[in-house]
Each structure stands twice: as C-alpha cells, then as structure tokens.
C-alpha cells in the first residue's frame, strides 16, 4: 500500500488519497515504503516482468462528459470548448437546478503536482473575487476517478474577440464603457493582490445588461498570481513568459520579470487599441517579432488608424502601453477614469460611479 505525505502539515496517509483532508495540499509519495521480502539465500533473481500501466478512466472521459453526471452533483449538458490544459462544459447543478460552467483539468496535467498546485491556487484566489465585472470560482472538486474540476457561473454572452470580428472597430461610446468596466473588475482583483497575467479579448465576456448595455466580465484568472506570494508560488509562475498570450504581454512579462497591476494595464491598453482600430499597436511577421517590437519600440499612434478619435483618447492608450511600468497609470482605477473623461459630459457622468 502506498504512503503519501502532506508537504504542508507533515501528516501521512495510506491508500489512494491524493490531497490532504486537513489543508487540501497535494500529497507526495513517501520514499522507502514497504519493501518486498528478500529472496532466500542462494536463489537466483527472477526476471522482472514488464507491468502494463492501468488505464486511467479519467483520461478517456475527460473530453467526453456531455450527457453524463459528474461527481454525483452536476448534469453535464454539452462541451463549450477545450484547450491544452482543460475542457469546459455547460452543466446543471442537481441540487439547485442552477446552470454552471465546469472547467475540467486535463488528466495528464492532473497527474503533475505543479499543475494541480497551480489549479488549487487559481481556485483559492478566484474564490476571493466578488465583483460584477469578474467571473468568480464557485467550487473546486475532484471525482473518485481523479478528475479535477472548477465550477463557475454559466455566463451566456459574447466574447469580446467575437464581437470585434463581427462588428469591426468600435466607436468610443461603445468601447469605452467596456474598457471602464474591465478596469473596475481588474482594480478589484488588484486590491486583493491578484494579477490576471493573460488579459485579452478572449478573456472578456460581454453580457446583455438589464438596461440593454454591455456588461463586461473578466474571465479566466487561470494565470493569476498573488503578487505577495512566497517562493513556492514564485517557482510555479517563473515560466510566465510562456504562459501568457504573446500579442498582449507586457515588456516585463516578456523578460520574465515580476509582475504587478501595471502589467494588466498594459495588456488592456493593447486590447483597447484593437477594439478601436481592429489592429495591434505593434507589428511583426510573427509573435516573436511583435514581442521584440514591444521591447524596443513605441506603439503606433491610435489616430494613425482612426483620425476621427480624440487626442485625449490616444494619450490615454499611449500612457497605458508605455514600455516603462513607472510611466503607466498607477492603477486600473486611474486608467478607467482617464478613458471615461474622453467621452462627452453625460456619458462620462454615467460611467464614473463604476470606478469609485
């Protein structure tokens, strides 16, 4: 029987437990467990037979959970999408009938202790988020056969990236409210010392608000980190240079430097530039050239592509995308206010309360 130890509290457990019931930490295999009895003296050592690994049922079903009951709690309706690290499903909570989205970690990653720790950290951070412009995590669970999953509210809307493709460049009266709400959500997260690290149009959901206006929701804090974290988390996020999305990464993230709220502000500046122009402010034939351009050059002026837009709006975006973090806005609140003040008086007055 295998023996596993909790690296945090030191408790040991026998059997197939994977997480400590006391603090939730991933258990690690203890070396030097029970050993087989020694062969009698004088006998030959038999040839060791190859052991065929047991099939992991979760490997087969993680990507095909539609129309199944997950963990005796959720009726999975259909698959919403998948990526290299996870599968996302729409589901119904059996006890309440509530519609939820379930993000299932790829079992191959679930077998890696660092990936599991990252997911647990993600859940722990995101459960602290409570803001109308942020998608929070409702629950972290694990099935009997080892599927690790996150439960989130099911948001039925349109991704900002899809809106950009469908409608093209946006007028300020449409784009600025979306950016201001995104700033409000980021400011809430930053106050909790959480940095998103991968802000992009695909991570901003647009819902139809009660007043018919767009409600922007910042999604997927999967690369989020607590900027006051200890060395253990720092090791996990040290490879952040390959975790973010190249087109939106700040210069300090490209260099693998420590990140703070100003890195998200930089990424949101690029998102805003794309919303207004349909283009990225740094050009290159590939992602590598675009990253080099961000390290060495300046973003294209907004009004090079949209001369109809105001100089104040161009100035706000240019400051958010300054190569030096010290020259950007100190926080997302200030960036949001700068954007709002580029609108006419009545629209600006309506948006200011979002940023107070």
Residues 6+ apart with CB under 8 A from 239: none
Residues in the chain: 356
**Contacts within 8 Å (CB) and 24+ apart, 95-100:** 99/154, 100/74, 100/138, 100/151, 100/152, 100/153, 100/154
Instruction: Give the tokens for residue 125.
Output: 């951070």
CA distances, 129 to each of 80, 187, 192, 221, 307 (Å): 23, 11, 8, 10, 39
d(C-alpha 339, C-alpha 341), whole Å: 5
19: nearest Cα among 138, 101, 119, 151: 119
Which residue out of 60, 71, 162, 198 is catalytically annotated? 198
Q: Known catalytic residue: 71? A: no
Q: Which residues of 72-88 are buried (b: 16+ CB within 10 A; e: fewer)?
A: ebbebbeeeeeeebbbb
71: nearest Cα among 55, 59, 58, 81: 58
Q: How many CA atoms lie within 13 A of 132 on its CB side?
A: 11
- H/E stretch holding 214: strand 214-218
Contact 148, 135 (CB under 8 A): no
- H/E stretch holding 216: strand 214-218
> Looking at the DSSP assignment, which residues form a beta bridge with residue 215?
207
Instruction: Give the tokens for residue 355.
Output: 């940023």
Contact 268, 160 (CB under 8 A): no
For the four alpha carbons of 252, 254, 255 and 256, in that order, the dihedral sign comes to positive
**Which residues are known catalytic residues?**
198
């Amino acid at each position: 029987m295998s023996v596993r130890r909790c690296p945090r509290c030191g408790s040991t457990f026998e059997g197939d437990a994977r997480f400590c019931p006391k603090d939730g930490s991933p258990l690690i295999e203890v070396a030097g467990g029970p050993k087989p009895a020694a062969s009698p003296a004088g006998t030959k050592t038999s040839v060791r037979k190859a052991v065929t690994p047991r099939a992991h049922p979760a490997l087969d079903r993680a990507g095909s959970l539609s129309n199944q009951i997950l963990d005796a709690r959720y009726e999975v309706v259909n698959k919403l999408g998948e990526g290299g690290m996870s599968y996302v499903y729409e589901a119904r909570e059996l006890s309440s009938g509530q519609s939820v989205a379930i993000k299932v970690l790829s079992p191959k990653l679930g077998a890696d202790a660092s990936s599991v720790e990252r997911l647990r950290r993600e859940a722990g951070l995101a459960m602290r988020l409570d803001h109308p412009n942020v998608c929070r995590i409702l629950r972290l669970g694990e099935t009997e056969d080892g599927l690790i999953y996150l439960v989130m509210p099911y948001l039925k809307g349109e991704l900002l990236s899809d809106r950009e493709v469908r409608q093209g460049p946006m007028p300020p009266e449409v784009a600025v409210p979306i950016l201001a709400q995104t700033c409000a959500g980021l400011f809430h997260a930053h106050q909790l010392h959480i940095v998103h690290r991968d802000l992009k149009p695909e991570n901003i959901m647009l819902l139809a608000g009660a007043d018919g206006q767009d409600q922007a929701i910042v999604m997927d804090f999967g690369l989020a980190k607590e900027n006051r974290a200890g060395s253990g988390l720092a090791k996990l996020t040290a490879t952040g240079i390959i975790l973010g999305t190249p087109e939106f990464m700040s210069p300090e993230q490209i260099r693998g430097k420590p990140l703070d709220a100003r890195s998200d502000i930089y990424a949101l500046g690029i998102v805003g530039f794309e919303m207004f122009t349909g283009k990225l402010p740094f050009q290159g034939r590939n992602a590598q050239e675009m990253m080099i351009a961000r390290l060495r050059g300046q973003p294209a002026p907004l009004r090079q592509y949209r001369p109809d837009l105001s100089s104040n709006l161009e100035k706000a975006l240019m400051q958010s995308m300054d190569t030096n973090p010290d020259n950007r806005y100190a926080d997302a609140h200030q960036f949001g206010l700068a954007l709002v003040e580029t609108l006419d008086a009545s629209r600006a007055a309506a948006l200011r309360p979002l940023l107070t």
